[in-house]
Amino acid sequence: MSSVRRPDHRADLRHVLTHLVTPLLMCIGMGLAYLGAFAHPEPHHLPVAVVGSGSQAQVLAQSISDKAHGGLDVRTVGSRAEAVDQLKHQEIFGAYVMDAHASGGGAPAGASGGASAPKDGASAAKNGAGAGVKDDGGTAVKHAGASAAGAKAAPELVVATAGSDTTATVVQKIFTPVAAQQGTPLKVTDVVPPAEDDPTGQGLFFLMVAVSIGSYASVAVIGGAGAVLPIRLRAALAVGTSFVVSILGTLFAGPVFHLVDHGLWGLWSMAWLYSAGILLIGTGLHTFLKRWTTLGVMALFVMLNFTSAGGVLRPELQNGFFASLHAFWNGAGFVEGTRSHVYFDNNGLAGHVWTLVLWLVVGFVMIGVASLAEARRRRAAAAAAQNATAVAAAAVAATVPERRPAHAAGAGDGENAERAGRSKAAEEAEEEMEEAVGV
C-alpha cells in the first residue's frame, strides 16, 4: 500500500508570517501615533488676550490665567485693533473685548452671534474647555461686567478660524462663561474666515494627506520596479513624479474643490517642495530598507507627520512630543505655509518654506548616500563574481576538462547565478509593491 505524501507548507507559511509583520507593526505605530496625538486634547500655554488698558482688564486676565493652571498664556492689549493685528500674525488665537461698544468694535462680515460656534472640532473643545473659566462668582468677572458709564457691557470674542477652527472653538468655550457672568450673550467675530467652500479650514490638511499618499506610494514603485535602474535615473523619476503629484494637488485645491481662491502658484510651489522631499528621501531609503521601505516612509510621513501637522489640532492643544515635531516636520511646514500664504498675508511664510527646503536637501543627501552605497555593493559583487567564476573554472578544468572549455563553464555558471538573482529581486519587488498598494 503506497502512502500519499502531503506537501510541506512550512516554508510557505514562514514566508507569509514574515510578511504579516509589516501590517502588524503599522497597526501598532498608527495606534500609538494617532491616539497619542489626538486623545485628550487640552490647551498648553495657548496665547489669548483681554482687550483693555485699565485695572479691570489686568485683573480679569490674571483671574483667567490663574484658573487655567498653565493652560493659557493670557495677555492684555490696549485696543481691539491691536488684538486683531496679533490675530492676523497668529501671535494669539482669541481676544476677549469686555465692551465692544467702548472699544469701537464692530462685527464685520465674518461675525457671528453668541449662539454660533465653529462646528468642527467639538470634541477637542469639550476637552479643551477644562482649562477655561468657570462661573464661580469671582470678583474679577464682576468688575468686568460694568462699564465706566454704568451701562451693560457688550462683550465680544475675536478669533481667526482660518488658523484653526478647533482652536477657535476651544477659545470660545473658555470665554463664554466669562460673558455669561456679565449677563450678555457673547458676540463672536471671525476676522480671518476660511474659504467659503472650506468652512472648517481643514481642507488644506486633507490636501496634504492626498499629496503625501501620492508621494510615498510612488516610492515603492520607483524603488521596487526601478531597482534595476541607476540611482540617478530613479532620482530623476522621483523629481518628475513630484511635479505630477504637486500639479494634481493644486488642481484639487483650486479648480476642483475651491479650497483656496487665490495664491495657487505659491501653493503649487510648496506642494512640489513637500512631495519632492518625500520621494527623494524614500528613494534613498529604499537602497537600505528594501521591502521595509513602505513601513519606514509611513512612520516618517504618516504616523509622525499627519499627527504633528496642525491640521486637526494645533500644537497648543497637543502634548509636548507632537507639539515639538510641529516646529520642524515637513507636513507642518506645508500646512502652516499654505495657511500663511492664503489667509495671513504671508506672515511667517519664510520659516515654513525653509522647513520644506531643508527636507528637500535631506532628500538629495539621501540620494547621494544611496549612490555611494550602491557603487560599493557593485564593486563587491563584481569581485565576488570574478572569484566565483575563477574557482568554478578551475574545478571544472580539474575534473571534467573534456566536456566543455573552462571559460564557457564558468561563464554559464555566472549567467545562471545572475538570472537567479534577477528573478529573486523581481519577486521581492513585486511583493513590496503589492504590500504598498494594500496599505
- For cell 516646529, name the residue: 327
Distances (CA, A) of 363 to 26, 276, 277, 390, 433: 23, 8, 5, 41, 21
By the 8 A CB rule, do 273 and 244 touch? no
Neighbour-count burial of 330, counting CB atoms closer than 10 A to its CB (0-12 exposed, 13-18 middle, 19+ buried): buried
The whole-angstrom separation of Cα 175 and Cα 118 is 14
Q: Which one has a higher pLDDT value, 438 or 12?
A: 12
Report the C-alpha gap between 331 and 325 in whole angstroms. 10
Q: How many CB atoms lie within 10 A of CB 102?
A: 17
C-alpha cell at 288: 537600505
Residue 431, classed as helix, strand or coil, is helix
Reported as a pLDDT band with limits 50, 70 and 90, residue 141 is very low
pLDDT at residue number 120: 41
**pLDDT confidence band for 233 (50 / 70 / 90):** very high
pLDDT of residue 117: 41
Q: What are the tens digits of pLDDT across the range 315-354?
A: 999 999 999 999 999 999 999 999 999 999 999 999 999 9
Alpha-helix residue ranges (DSSP H) falling in 252-348? 264-289, 293-298, 320-325, 330-343
Distance CA 73, CA 91 (A): 11
Contact 179, 202 (CB under 8 A): no
Q: pTM for the full model?
A: 0.81
Percent helix, strand, coil in the chain (nearest 5)? Answer: 65, 5, 30
Residue 106 has pLDDT above 90, yes or no: no
Convert the pLDDT of each residue in 290-303 to its tens digit: 889 999 999 999 99
Is the pLDDT at 28 greater than 60, yes or no? yes
In the DSSP assignment, the letter for residue 115 is T
CA 264, 267, 268: angle at the middle one, nearest 5?
85
pLDDT at 300: 97
Determine the Cα–Cα distance for residues 79 and 150; give it in Å rounded to an integer.
20
* CA separation for the pair 67, 85 (Å, rounded): 27
Q: How far apart are CA 163 and CA 108, in angstroms?
A: 18
Quickly state the pLDDT bin for 425 (edges 50, 70, 90): low
| Mean pLDDT value across residues 215-231 | 91
Under the banding of pLDDT at 50, 70 and 90, the label for residue 426 is low
State the DSSP code for 108.
Answer: -
Identify which of 280, 324, 282, 272 has the alpha carbon closest to the alpha carbon of residue 302. Answer: 282
Asked if pLDDT for residue 222 goes beyond 90, the answer is: yes
Pairing of strands 156-159, 187-190: parallel
Q: Which residue is associated with the grid cell 535615473?
A: 233
Mean pLDDT calculated for residue range 185-194: 95
Cβ neighbours for 215, distance < 8 A, ≥ 6 positions apart? 241, 242, 245, 274, 275, 278, 279, 282, 301
* Whole-number Å distance between alpha carbons of 319 and 37: 7
Rg of the Cα atoms in the chain: 30
* Number of neighbours of residue 316 by Cβ within 10 angstroms: 23
**Element containing residue 97 per DSSP (H, E):** strand 95-97
* Cell numbers standing for residue 213: 499618499
Which of the two residues, 102 and 398, has the higher pLDDT score? 398
CA terminus-to-terminus distance, the chain: 50
Of residues 415 and 170, which shows the higher confidence score? 170
- Express as a percent the part of the chain with pLDDT over 70: 78
More confident residue, 201 or 396: 201
Q: Which residue has the cell 494645533?
A: 314
